[in-house]
Amino acid sequence: MRILIVAATSIEVAPVVAGLREMSERGPRLTRYAHAAHDVDVLITGVGMVATAAWCSRVLALSRYDVALNFGVCGSFDPALKPGDVVQVLTDRLAELGAEDGEAFVSIHDLNLPAEHEFTNLAPPANAALGRLRTVSGITVNMVHGNERSIAAVTARFSPQVESMEGAAFMQSCLIHGIRFAQVRAVSNVVERRNRDAWKLADAIGALGTTALSILDGL
């Protein structure tokens, strides 16, 4: 099986890569590994939805994969999701795509403009480890939330459970190229006024690595 792993940063997938056998460089930001009988390409896109969309589309246009997996961290709006929890994001949207009208936000849908802004994974890979994860809805943003007023506004608007800076871009790329995929994220922090002292990034990355290797073992 040919598998593509996508991450924004190498730090987020360091525990995953440590469990693979490196084979060769495949091109810019892309490295080939082996795991059991699988060929595993790891793509480090850089942070943000533009970088993720561009690099994913480039790689998916040049090579055919059986499955694509997006591994990364996220912030949680949901009090039931604690730092270190690992989830599968089934629905994601571009939360900032729209216009301001005074204090109001007008969505791209309400503007009647032709833009895809919400993406749903209707057919994740059949995988026992993946199936054990809690499924959530997410938003993808250019600027992570850290203001009580904006947090309240986006919560009222979309009721998201998690946020990232890449998820929806990864999902749209996979949907365009017709590849089966999964977006898997570990909660590193509660979405609140920026408080790095409360983040548990190392715990999140460790939990993500354990889950990711279990998913690979089940493919």
Tens digits of residue pLDDT in 37-86: 999 999 999 999 999 999 999 999 999 999 999 999 999 999 999 999 99
Alpha-carbon torsion, ordered 210, 214, 215, 218, to 10 deg: 170
* Secondary structure of residue 162 in the 3-state scheme: strand
User: Residue type at 219?
Assistant: L
* Secondary structure of residue 45 in the 3-state scheme: coil
Tens of pLDDT, residues 133-154: 999 999 999 989 988 999 998 9
Q: Residue 185 forms beta bridges with which residues? A: 72, 87
| Cα-only R_g, the chain | 17
Q: Which residue, 93, 30, 90, is CA-closest to 65?
A: 30
Tokens 């525990």, residue located: 15
Q: How far is CA 169 from the centre of its chain?
A: 8
Share of the chain above pLDDT 90, in %: 81
Overall CATH class of domain 2-217: alpha beta
Q: Parse the chain into domains and list their residue ranges.
A: 2-217
In the predicted structure, residue 208 carries a pLDDT above the cut 90: yes
Tokens 């598998």, residue located: 3
- pLDDT for residue 51: 97
Whether the model clears a pTM of 0.85, i.e. scores above it, the answer is: yes
Tokens 């690979």, residue located: 216
